[in-house]
Structures are given as structure tokens and as C-alpha cells.
Chain A
Amino acid sequence: MKRPYYLFSSGRLKRQHNTLALEKTSGERLPDDSPEDEGVPSSLPDGGRTQFPIESVDSLFLFGEIDINSKLITFLGQQGVPAFFFDYYGNYSATLYPRENLLSGRLRIQQAHHYLSPKRRLTLAKAFVEAALFNIERVIKYYQPRLEGDAQQETQATLQALVRDRGALPLTTDIFTLMAVEGRIRDRYYKLWPHFLGKEVASKFPMNKRERRPPSNELNALISFGNSLCYSTVVRQIYRTALDPTIAFLHEPGDRRFSLSLDIAEIFKPLLVDRAIFRLLKTGEINSKHFEKHLGGCYLSDAGRKIFVQHWDERLSKTVHHRALDKKVSYERLIRLECYKLIRHLSDPAGNTYQGLHMWW
């Protein structure tokens, strides 16, 4: 059984006896972008070494400062293990995406065809936004019954706007408007977060609006970090299918290298990212001491990232009953199923029209 491995330590990751070994360093890590940096490791391995079985590795998430060489890259390629790199601040920086062994030429052509045909592209783009809005609605409805007074009213108003906008999606005629609708709803949704978090938590972590580069406060830092995890988690699921990760429908191929992942991630963010943030803040597992300020931005500290990632990993393995398959399916597997639904649509748009995941639980 293959699972993701998360490397928080710094050091050298290497291929050793046909498996993986991490030689850890214990020194202080220097920021990746310091001007006097010479590109050598911040500190050298001090002998501590952990080997782990390559057969159990689905993918690698590298949060520390990791030194690698081409032997390792070749090995990961042979083994079909993608690796995701994060910089000093925890920002997603790159993916090592091994050669795709499941690609299908015909499917790729279909995918490009659906991108190039404005009508077909719009159909898919709408489906992503529709499902994203539906799942935001589910999250709002989950918290709404516990709210009172103004909070209740404001939530109700947002819900009404959301339902109205979602209902109007079929009339939308271009992607730009679609993006704008989603952005508008998300802004209103973020304004409700203080209500969902409760007075005590909200007083420590204010939420005004979404600010990305750099994240302006703690909640923005959490959203950015969570979204990066979501993006890379979707990439690693797409990798296990015949889909081409670079051709998207809602997003433009240039938005990120694997733009299809951005499309699919929209659907899963409310379930995976937003709810993880509420949970971690409400339980106090993540609190003020887990944030650091750098260059006018706010970031999760190493310890904070580790807590977030551990929770993330657990959350992905939570299961729900899938009616059509009549079995329990993990949240992570739901992402894979989303890819399969997309393949069905691309192969037979009229007979198997894509509808994004609607949380049914």
C-alpha cells in the first residue's frame, strides 16, 4: 500500500540500496532567498539516517531544505513517485512529475478539444464552479444552525446570494463571469468565518479579506498553505489517471503548470481546506504561536505546518459511503473518482455529463 511521506527535516534525500534514505541535518535552516546565499546546504548531515521503504511511498512532500541529486530523480521516475517541494515559507514551489505511464493519446486529444471548443469548455467550467458553490453552501449550512442574531442574518443573506448565483450559472456565457461569480461568493463566505470560528477564536484571528501574495494575516496564511496542499494532493491523484494535468477548463493552462488540478481543487477546498482550518483553530491545535511574520507576510511556522499536515493526512483518509460503488471511499479517493468522472465526460459528453462532487453527507 502506497502512502504519501512528508519530510519536515532538512538534509539529503538519496537513493540507497534501491530504497530511500534521509540523512538529516541538525543545523539552523537559512531562508532560501537570502541574497548572500551560495546555494550550498544550510548545514551538513550529521549522521542521523532514516531509511524508508520505496514500495510504500506514493508521493513525497518536502518541507525541509532537501538536497537531491539526479540518481534520486531517476529513481523516483522509475518508481512513479511524484515529489512536491515547498520553500522556506511553506509556499508551494515545484513538482517533480515523473514520466506519465497511463497517458492515452486519444483522451488527451479529447481534453484539448473540450478546451478549444468554447461551448464545451464552458460546460465543464460551469460544472466546477457549480460544485464548488454547492460545497461552500454545505459548509455554511453546517455552521448556520449554531448562529444567532446578526450572525444568523448575515449568514442567511449570504446563503440566499449563493443559491441565487448558483441557480443563475446556466445563464452564464463566459468563463470570466464564472470566475467573478465564484470570487464574489468566496469573499462573502470568508466574511462569515469569524461567526463560524466563534468570538474567542475570531478575536485572535481576524478575517477581513483574502490576500495571497503575501498572506496578510494568520487566516490568509492557513488558506494559502491549505490550498497548496490541496493542489498537490489533486496533482498526485491526476497522475494516477490518464488525464493530462496541464489542460484545464475553468483555469487557463498558464495559471499553474498543472492547471487541471486547480479546477478540481475548487470542488474540494471547502471540504478539505476550509473545514481543516476551522477544526484546527477551534480545538486550539493551531494557535498564535504557530505563526511567523516575514517581509510583510504572515506564515505558518515549521511546527504549525507539521500540525496542519498531520491533520490533513488524517482528513484525507476519512471515509464516506459511496452509493453507486456501495463501499466506503476515502476523501482522497473521491478526488480520484472526480478524475474518472471527467474521463467519462470527455469520452461521452452527452451520455455521461460531468457533475462535480456534491457533498452528500
Chain B
Amino acid sequence: MISKSLRIGGMLIGYYRLCPRKAWWSLRGIAMEQESDAVALGRLLDESSYARSDKHLEIEAEAPDGTPLVGKIDRANLKHGVLHETKKGRSCEDAHRWQLRFYLWLLYRNGVTRADGVPFSGQLDYPLLRRTEAVFLEAEHYLELEKNVAAISSLAIQEIPPPVLTQRSFCAKCSFEELCFG
């Protein structure tokens, strides 16, 4: 059964890179309470920590294989060409970076750059840690994102969930832990 309504977003890319099983649950529309709590906290953090001058932005694009992609960006500073993503802590740093690279890729796919032609860049904000990290989209990332999108598309039509991660310690912080191991 092919899901016609599949639209791949940044959070799903992050999930997939962390744990394909988590992405599968999410594709099935299964959410965890703590997850929604954490998302609410993230939004609150973003709203309370930063000026309102930056804009929420929603971008749509298409992957090279035609899969519809969508990005909901916390804040975008259009003047300086920076996409921001606010996070609580650095526990899933790599997933956060890929989420942002995914958004940058959407702009790239749509041919959007700064007024002076320079491509957009990304910034991860950790207000609780008072830290930021710059994220760039390099040519080698395109192929990786393309592969991830293809993998998620086939995950979406997979009947049964992928196995749990072999590195169990990784799951201790995941909001889906009880669903997988309870």
C-alpha cells in the first residue's frame, strides 16, 4: 500500500538518522505523550528566548525522485540568510544538524539564495546552554539526504517496524523507549 499523502519533514529525517524504528512509529502516526510535551517545551523555549523579528517559515520542495518534502522552520533570518533551529540539549546533535541541513537542502532545491547569491546557512540554538552552532550544507550532503528520503519512502510502506537499535543505551533518552521495551 503506497501512502499517497507522504510528505517528508525535517523532524522525520532527524528521527530516521537516529533510529529507523522511531521514524516508522512516527510515519504510522504514533506519537508519545512525552514527545508532545518535549515539542511544546521546545516551542516555548523558542518563543521566550528570541526576538519576534524572525519569521516562522514553511518551505515545500521535491526530492529528485519526486517525493514531496516540507520544512517547518522555527525562525528564519532572511536578511542574513540564516535558518535557526532551537533545541533543548545536545543529546541528539547529529540528528539536529541533519534536520537543519535538510531545510537548507529544500532551499537549494528551490534555488533560493540570499539576495547577493550566497546560499543560506543554518544555526542550532541551545538557549538553555547559551550556545550556538553553525551548520552548512556541503555538496556531499545532497546525496546523503537523497538516500535518506528514499529510505523513508520505503519505510512508509513497510508493514512491520524495523528492529530496535542494538545499542540499547541510545534508547534511554528516547520518548519511545517504553513503546519499544516496556
A: which residues have CB within 8 A of B? 102-107, 240, 242, 322, 324-325, 336-337, 340-341, 343-344, 347-348, 350-351
- Which of B28, B160, B179 is A340 in contact with, Cβ under 8 Å? B179
In Å, the complex CA distance between A104 and B179 comes to 14
- Which of B33, B161, B178 is A347 in contact with, Cβ under 8 Å? B161
6 residue pairs, one from A and one from B, having the closest CB atoms: A337-B182, A104-B29, A348-B160, A340-B182, A340-B179, A324-B181
- If A336-B182, A337-B182, A351-B160 touch, whether A325 touches B177 (CB-CB below 8 Å) is yes
Assess the A102–B33 pair: CB atoms within 8 A: yes
**Contact string against A for B residues 20-36, beta-carbon threshold 8 Å, 1 for contact and 0 otherwise:** 00000000111101000
**Contact string against A for B residues 145-182, beta-carbon threshold 8 Å, 1 for contact and 0 otherwise:** 00000000000000011000000000000000111111
- Which of A240, A242, A341, A348 is B161 in contact with, Cβ under 8 Å? A348
Which chain B positions have C-beta within 8 A of A325? 177-178, 181-182
| A2, closest chain B residue (CB) | B33
Assess the A240–B29 pair: CB atoms within 8 A: no
Assess the A344–B179 pair: CB atoms within 8 A: yes
Most buried by B among A104, A340, A343: A340
In Å, the complex CA distance between A27 and B33 comes to 41
- If A347-B160, A348-B160, A348-B161 touch, whether A336 touches B178 (CB-CB below 8 Å) is yes
In Å, the complex CA distance between A325 and B31 comes to 19
In Å, the complex CA distance between A91 and B181 comes to 36
| A334, closest chain B residue (CB) | B182
Which chain B positions have C-beta within 8 A of A322? 182
Assess the A343–B177 pair: CB atoms within 8 A: no
| A341, closest chain B residue (CB) | B182
CB pairs A–B below 8 angstroms (6 shown): A103-B29, A104-B29, A337-B178, A340-B178, A344-B179, A347-B160
In Å, the complex CA distance between A242 and B182 comes to 15
Interchain nearest-CB distance for B50 vs A (Å)? 25
Assess the A106–B182 pair: CB atoms within 8 A: no
- Which of B30, B178, B181, B182 is A107 in contact with, Cβ under 8 Å? B30
Assess the A343–B30 pair: CB atoms within 8 A: yes
Which chain A positions have C-beta within 8 A of B181? 324-325
- Which of A242, A336, A340, A348 is B29 in contact with, Cβ under 8 Å? A242
In Å, the complex CA distance between A240 and B182 comes to 15
In Å, the complex CA distance between A104 and B29 comes to 5
**Further contacts, 14 of them, CB under 8 A, given A105-B29, A107-B28, A325-B177:** A102-B30, A102-B31, A102-B33, A104-B29, A104-B30, A324-B182, A325-B181, A336-B182, A337-B178, A340-B179, A340-B182, A343-B30, A344-B180, A351-B160
- If A347-B160, A347-B161 touch, whether A242 touches B178 (CB-CB below 8 Å) is no
In Å, the complex CA distance between A105 and B28 comes to 8
CB neighbors of A among B1-58 (8 A):
28-31, 33
Assess the B28–A104 pair: CB atoms within 8 A: yes
Interchain nearest-CB distance for B43 vs A (Å)? 16
In Å, the complex CA distance between A190 and B30 comes to 40
Most buried by B among A105, A341, A343, A347: A347
| A243, closest chain B residue (CB) | B30
Interchain nearest-CB distance for A352 vs B (Å)? 8
Interchain nearest-CB distance for B69 vs A (Å)? 22
- If A340-B182, A341-B182, A344-B179 touch, whether A106 touches B29 (CB-CB below 8 Å) is yes
In Å, the complex CA distance between A70 and B118 comes to 56
Interchain nearest-CB distance for B41 vs A (Å)? 14
Most buried by A among B179, B181, B182: B182
| B182, closest chain A residue (CB) | A337
Which chain A positions have C-beta within 8 A of B182? 322, 324-325, 336-337, 340-341
| B29, closest chain A residue (CB) | A104
In Å, the complex CA distance between A324 and B160 comes to 22
In Å, the complex CA distance between A340 and B177 comes to 10
Which chain B positions have C-beta within 8 A of A240? 33
In Å, the complex CA distance between A240 and B177 comes to 15
| A324, closest chain B residue (CB) | B181
In Å, the complex CA distance between A340 and B178 comes to 7
Interchain nearest-CB distance for A318 vs B (Å)? 17
Interchain nearest-CB distance for B24 vs A (Å)? 9
Which chain A positions have C-beta within 8 A of B161? 347-348
In Å, the complex CA distance between A344 and B180 comes to 7
Interchain nearest-CB distance for A107 vs B (Å)? 6
| A350, closest chain B residue (CB) | B160
| B180, closest chain A residue (CB) | A344
In Å, the complex CA distance between A350 and B29 comes to 21
Which chain A positions have C-beta within 8 A of B180? 344
In Å, the complex CA distance between A325 and B179 comes to 11
In Å, the complex CA distance between A340 and B161 comes to 14
In Å, the complex CA distance between A157 and B136 comes to 73
Assess the A107–B179 pair: CB atoms within 8 A: no
